[in-house]
Structure 1
Amino acid sequence: MATWLITGCSTGLGRALAAAVLARGDNAVVTARDVATVADLADAHPGTALPLTLDVTDEIQIATAVASATERFGGIDVLVNNAGYGYRAAVEEGDESDVQELFATHFFGPVALIKAVLPAMRARRSGTIVNLSSIGARLSPAGSGYYAAVKSAVEGMTASLRKEVEPLGITALAIEPGGFRTDFAGRSLAQSAEAIPDYADTAGRRRKENDRVHGTQPGDPAKAALAIIAVVDAPDAPELLVLGSDAVAAYRSVLEGQLASLDAWRQLSESTDIDV
């Protein structure tokens, strides 16, 4: 029986994962900014669910959550940094305070949680850290520059973390989902207050008032939850797991384009070496 600490369990992938973890008999610390939104999960699994209030930008709440989880279950085996929301704006439109909040939620909060659980994981020489990213980090669509940036930061940090903790018996990996049928493109999507007309045909097409994606995404959150559990259980978990047929196709297309560009400019790239 493993103990999971999952952030952002009120809706979406976080809630689906918490439900799946509890259904298979594991312990789960189910967290949300409003703990009332996860009360039903706790009521259904009183012996194995611990509902906690957690705003990942609040370091005191992070410390309290980790301490409460340790007191109740003896330790945390799997940390899943899932909490977050979408943000759309042309780079020029992005409000500085909005961008700072985005990075606080998606990057600095997860880093604080990682730092909070690692000492005990190092002492046990076991544990898994799962950081949720997005195919947006690969695609970098117009209007998602800041979101792509913060998820790219998560992936880069996770890749380095993996190399640091792997010799200690700890696994770190990133999950890169495509479009899933959640509230991500609906209630959980924020955007800049200002819309500059010159960006109407690029970033503007993806503003909430113009986007028709919500409710049509191909991904099933319940199946994503089972996939995440499977990769955590796997002895050879990859550094990055892509979720969704749309994400796999998009990832492949981006990689092929990058390789083509690398080859096209290879001569100029290699011309910068010192002559010998």
Structure 2
Amino acid sequence: MPEGDTVWYAAHRLDAALAGRVLTRADLRVPRFATADLTGRRVLGVTPRGKHLPARAEGGLTLHSHLRMDGAWRVYSAGERPHGGPARPSGHLRIRAVLGNAEFTAYGYRLPVLELLRTADESQVVGHLGPDLLGPDRDPAEAVRRLTADPARPLGEALLDQRNLAGIGNVYTSEPAFLAAVAPWLRVAALGPGVPERLVATAHRLLEADKDRPDRPTTTTRQKRERLYVYGREGRPCPRCGTPVCKAESADRVTYWCPDCRRGGQGARAER
């Protein structure tokens, strides 16, 4: 599932192509909004909120999308053929939204959430979110307060809860937990002093470093297979101690950790 950095990257590409320009083409390919006409409206901006993508237009309207597992937005120059266009009809069917102006056209692929609502009603879809680690509302103290509000909750579950911190997914759960040397299933109450603060700060640092690029490294190595500490590295040696990395799956959650590096509530210092 795309995480906060991926959504931020997509939103800013959309904002650069659409904001301040009048829509000359707007096609929403979902039954509920198929007849909605946004042409002639100026796009005011696309500002990410956690994993959500609200695009605001004149007249008090917001086009809200969420990428979930497979969604994506792609931007092309006006007149450029999109991937999955006429040459690949089956790909064309995956396009759920088209927003175009005189210079650019944005195509939304496989968007599982696409809805048009009043801007005044945006809180109905994003009002439940906690502090956005990449947003202007970033509030580390509030994020820590929410993260630790339920002491009996497993750490990984608390980190993934968007009501606590908006923008964190499986990658930014496993990697900060590894860097803090704590197990993802550890109860929040068992975290040592300063560990919640360090987890929030590390998650923000990694997201901030990766938001302007399409890939997602958390290490400094240039080797592609070593760009992440533990995520996606099941069975491969831990970069800290050499122990094979473990993996656990539950529904849409995937967690990776080193069985020897975790130290209960005691965090070990590890630099990026």
Q: Greater strand percent: which structure?
A: 2
Higher relative contact order by CA 8 Å / sep ≥ 6: 1 or 2?
Answer: 1
Q: TM-score, normalised by structure 1?
A: 0.25
Q: TM-score, normalised by structure 2?
A: 0.25
Q: Greater helix percent: which structure?
A: 1
